[in-house]
Amino acid sequence: MPDRSTARERLLAAADELFYAEGIHTVGIDRVIERAGVAKASLYSTFGSKDELVRAYLLGRHERRQRRLTERLATYEGPRAKLLGIFDYLANSYQQPTFRGCPFINANAESQPGGPAQEVADLSRAWVRSLVRGLVEALGVEQPDRLTDQLILLYDGATVSARLDRNPAVAQTARTAADALLNSATRARAEAAA
């Protein structure tokens, strides 16, 4: 049966696989075109440049992570459980055989400041921070900025450690640390209210 996907879909699928596995600068457009099975003109007529293909690749990653994490957190009750659920989501991600770290950190490390990789990484990071901040605010703790920063640090640290140490179990370590931070923050709130 012939592949009925569009040239855009095939280019994005090829870029997603190759850029994430090997890096955006290591992979040239000729490899993406070959993997996608399209003409070079298709890439330029669809995206205009490699930078725009990188932007579309990262936006796709961002949208998939947003959707998956939102769906996963919908299975948890209450802000505290949802905050810990973020680390459960990470644990699942780290166990995937294709896990190669955070695509936004990876692409941002390779790119020039202000480029499409940084732009989408900033967008994705703002979304994660907003998600965590909203859940922290729902807990009603004192110093929500501080707790948000601590939880984001655990999120980032776990992701980097999982990649560099090739150890998916760090998600559980980060979850345990997050649980301790949440216990401390909610205990302080309860003591202040008493």
33 and 83 assigned to the same domain: no
Q: Examine residue 54 and state whether it is found in any structural domain, yes or no.
A: no
Q: Give the pLDDT confidence score for residue 5 in this predicted structure.
A: 85
pLDDT recorded at residue 104: 94
What pTM was computed for the model?
Answer: 0.91
Residues contacting residue 108 through CB under 8 Å, at least 6 positions apart:
117, 118, 121
As a whole number of angstroms, the distance between CA 22 and CA 44 comes to 22
Q: Is 130 part of any domain?
A: yes
53: in domain: no
User: Would 141 be classed as within a structural domain?
Assistant: yes
Q: Which of 11, 26, 48 is the last residue of a domain?
A: 48
Distance, CA of 175 to CA of 154 (rounded, Å): 8
Residues 43 and 67 in one domain: no
Considering the domain architecture, whether residues 121 and 168 belong to the same structural domain is answered as yes
User: What CATH number corresponds to the domain at position 109?
Assistant: 1.10.357.10
Over pLDDT 90: what percentage of the chain?
Answer: 89
Average pLDDT, the chain: 94
Identify whether residues 98 and 147 lie together within a single domain: yes
Same domain, 44 and 115: no
* Residues 65, 28 share a domain: no
Give the count of domains, the chain: 2
Report the pLDDT averaged over residues 18-27: 95
| Residue 64 located in a structural domain | yes
What local confidence, expressed as pLDDT, does residue 2 receive?
47
Round to the nearest angstrom and report the end-to-end CA distance of the chain.
Answer: 69
pLDDT band at 44 (very low <50, low <70, confident <90, very high): very high
SS3 per-residue string spanning 1-23: CCCCCCHHHHHHHHHHHHHHHHC
- pLDDT of 192 reads 65
If pLDDT is split at 50, 70 and 90, which confidence band does 1 have? very low
Give a yes or no: residue 143 inside a domain. yes
Q: Are residues 19 and 71 in the same domain?
A: no
Please report the pLDDT score of residue 190 as a whole number: 64
Cα(167)–Cα(86) distance, rounded to whole angstroms? 17
Residue 42 belongs to a domain with what CATH number? Answer: 1.10.10.60
The pLDDT, as a whole number, for residue 188 is 65
Flag whether pLDDT at 111 surpasses 90.
Answer: no
Residue 102, domain extent: 59-193
Top pLDDT among 2 and 56 is at 56
Assess if residue 24 is contained within a domain: yes
155 and 84 inside one domain: yes
